[in-house]
Amino acid sequence: MFLYIDETGNTGARFLNTSQPFFMSGAIATKIDFDAAYVDAWEKLLKAHNLDALHASKIGPAAIENLSPELARMLDSANARFCLSRVEKCYALATIVHSVIFDPAENAVSDWIFIADPGIRLTTAIEIAKHMQIREIGSPFEACLFQLSKTDQMLQAFSAGCAGLATACETPLARPTQLAIARVARWASKNPSAFTLRQTGLVGKGRHPNLICFSNLAHCAQKIHVEWKSDSCIIKHYRQQQYDAAIEFWQELWSNAAPGKHILSSGEVRQYQALPDAEISFEESKRSPGLQAIDVCLWVVNRGLQGKHLGVGAGSLLQLVISRAELSDYSIEAAEEKLAA
């Protein structure tokens, strides 16, 4: 199995960037080495459209529309499958805040049920997420968890974020969920030094949208890996210096995790292993037709999700990708749908 992975919407550890609220990662999965098998066809495609390489943001919508039918036919002939992973950044920040303030090992007024029970955890995380775009709440949390370096400043920001969250949830018509958040947030605002606020290094980067997205993508790809009964997996990831080492660290972690289903005490079922014994490399897209192809596919998917116009050619490419994709959506909307199911 071969995976060609690219991403879009990178803002690092800035979760509250309103111009790019989502981070998305995508992969083309093939049973053959797409780069080796289609190198000649790729050169013909580029030459036919007077291009040196396919980079969606550089060649523009008109060029993408023109070449999309040929690209779709090429991917179809390769029997390509796809993985798509999307992370709503403010929801990601909210789930991190949730894991911190509801941790009963550090918050004296919390309870394990808010961590262990998937329904209650999801309900409270969604509620917190709806407050993250309020500047007085989201910004202090983002600062203390990811930006500030001095302890006193981190504690002050954490206290301010918790106080703001508690106040926002303490309304005359507050529901039990909101009152539970207000209670733990109020205690946290008065006892900020009781909490572990910062995780550093490769483990800490696992909290960033990029790594949340990559981990979800890997588990999407695992479904195809099992279906194809693959005995190996070669991953080519677009070179992205800021997160290459962290991606490799987490890929190895998931690859070597214990296989099979794991049933937690709450009854929740989880599967940790993804892409066992996979080999990953980071490459420039100009050297890889597969990386260039997923770049264009991601552009088409992203544009479709935003409700922007797509021509017939690009629309056919979008349909091919979506119809053959394993999907992961880490967002408020997806969490609400899961809760309602």
Q: Are residues 207 and 74 in the same domain?
A: yes
Domain total for the chain?
A: 2
Listed range (11-15, 71-75, 124-128) with the worst mean pLDDT: 11-15
* 186 has a pLDDT exceeding 90: yes
| DSSP 8-state code for residue 286 | G
* 240 has a pLDDT exceeding 90: no
Give the three-state DSSP class for 106: coil
Structural domain harbouring 281:
2-86+203-340
Q: Are 3 and 236 in contact (CB under 8 A)?
A: yes
* pLDDT tens, position by position, 202-238: 999 999 999 999 999 999 999 999 999 999 999 999 9
| Average pLDDT estimate for 65-75 | 97
Predicted pLDDT of residue 169 = 97
Q: Are residues 208 and 335 in the same domain?
A: yes
Q: Are residues 129 and 77 in the same domain?
A: no
Q: Are 306 and 21 in contact (CB under 8 A)?
A: no
Q: Which one of 134, 167, 200 terminates a domain?
A: 200
Longest CA–CA separation in the chain, Å: 68
Give one DSSP letter per residue of 132-198, joined into a string: TTSHHHHHHHHIIIII--SHHHHHHHHHHHHHHHHHHH--TT--HHHHHHHHHHHHHHH-GGGS---
Q: Are residues 165 and 297 in the same domain?
A: no
Average pLDDT across the chain, whole number: 95
Q: Which one of 165, 200, 235 terminates a domain?
A: 200
Q: Are residues 196 and 317 in the same domain?
A: no
Q: Are residues 225 and 312 in the same domain?
A: yes
pLDDT band at 79 (very low <50, low <70, confident <90, very high): very high
CATH number at residue 268: 3.30.420
Q: Are residues 75 and 210 in the same domain?
A: yes
Q: Are residues 234 and 289 in the same domain?
A: yes
Give the three-state DSSP class for 283: strand
Instruction: Write down the pTM of the prediction.
Output: 0.94
Predicted pLDDT of residue 82 = 98
Q: Are 24 and 212 in contact (CB under 8 A)?
A: no
Predicted pLDDT of residue 241 = 82
Sheet holding 81-88, edge to edge: 279-283, 234-238, 2-8, 22-30, 81-88, 325-330
* pLDDT tens, position by position, 244-296: 999 999 999 999 999 999 998 888 889 999 999 999 999 999 989 999 999 99
Give the three-state DSSP class for 33: coil
Q: Are residues 165 and 177 in the same domain?
A: yes
Q: Are residues 60 and 180 in the same domain?
A: no
Q: Are residues 150 and 291 in the same domain?
A: no
* pLDDT tens, position by position, 301-316: 999 999 999 999 999 9
* pLDDT tens, position by position, 11-21: 999 999 888 99
